[in-house]
Every structure is written in structure tokens, then in C-alpha cells.
Amino acid sequence: MQRESIELTNMCMVCNGSQVLVQDRKDPRWPGITFPGGHVEPGESLADAVIREVREETGLIISDPRLCGLKDWCTDQGRYVVLFYRAERFSGSLQSSEEGEVWWEELDKLSSLNLARDMGDMLRVFLEEDISEFFYRPMGEEWINELR
């Protein structure tokens, strides 16, 4: 049995026609425009976790989260995993949270916004069917963004 200490999180691209739901994240460790998401709770199903996080941060209740890839990296403390989802069906009214303002934005305008660090590469995992993983690969003192 091989176990790892893993910090398990999610992020969801909620789509409404040509628009996607963005969040201007206030967290100073990773500020900028990204998609809503957060931590998976112990014992929680991964689908329940992304539905809960989107509801808490946007007011919307998504009904069809689909896994479309993930991002991960490893440190001395263990692995960090962000599960990426897409959702197109939702109910409820848009409501920002303390995590950051949320609004609908044209998908093709995203690249002109103040995106969070590496959000451009993350977008490729959300959008390109043949990319499943964004891995930070250690190379000496650096980290390489590897898309697979």
C-alpha cells in the first residue's frame, strides 16, 4: 500500500453559451482572474465537492460537472492536485463571495484580462481535448510547465 499526503482541490469552468464564469480571486498568494473552486473535504465525493464550492463562491448550483483534466505538482510536503471540471447546466442567481467578485465573461476575451499566474496554460487543459494534465516538473531550481 502506497499512500501520499495530498491536498485535493477543484476548479470549475461554468459555461453559458460563449461566456464563462470568472472570479477575481483576492487571495494574495494567488491573485488574479481564474475560475471558482476550492478544497475537497475528507469523505466528500469529488462531484459533491465541486458543486459545493461553485455554490459557495458564485451562488449557482451546477448539475453536470464533468472532469476534463487536472493540474498537479509535488513538494517535500506531498502532492497538490487541482481537479478541473466543466459544467453547462446550472440554476440559482449569481452572487459573489468573500473569495472574490464573480461575473460572466466572453471566453475569447479572457486572454486580455488580468489572469492569475499560469491561468493561460490551465485554460488549455480546460479547452483542449487532448490535454489531460498540467504538471509542474522540477528542473534543477526551476519548475517547468508541462502539458500532457
Locate 61 and state its grid cell: 448550483
Burial of 107 (0-12, 13-18, 19+ CB in 10 A): middle
- Which of the residues 97 through 116 are near a copy of itself (CB under 8 A)? none
The neighbouring-strand residues paired with 121 are: none
Q: How many CA atoms, within 13 angstroms, populate the side-chain half-sphere of residue 132? A: 1
Q: How far is the CB of 132 from a copy of itself (least distance, A)?
A: 4
Q: How far is the CB of 73 from a copy of itself (least distance, A)?
A: 9
Q: CA 7 to CA 129: how far, in whole Å? A: 25
Count of residues that bind a copy of itself according to CB under 8 A = 37
Half-sphere exposure of 8 (CA within 13 A, CB side): 13
Site map for a copy of itself, 17-46, x if CB under 8 A?
Answer: ----------------------xxxxx-xx
* Residue of the chain from 98, 129, 141, 142 that contacts a copy of itself (CB under 8 A): 129
Distance from first CA to last CA of the chain, Å, rounded? 27
Closest to a copy of itself by CB, 101 vs 128, is 128
Residue 4 CB, nearest approach to a copy of itself (Å): 6
- Give contact residues for a copy of itself (rule: CB under 8 A): 1-8, 39-43, 45-47, 64-70, 72, 74, 77-79, 85, 129-130, 132-133, 135, 137, 146, 148
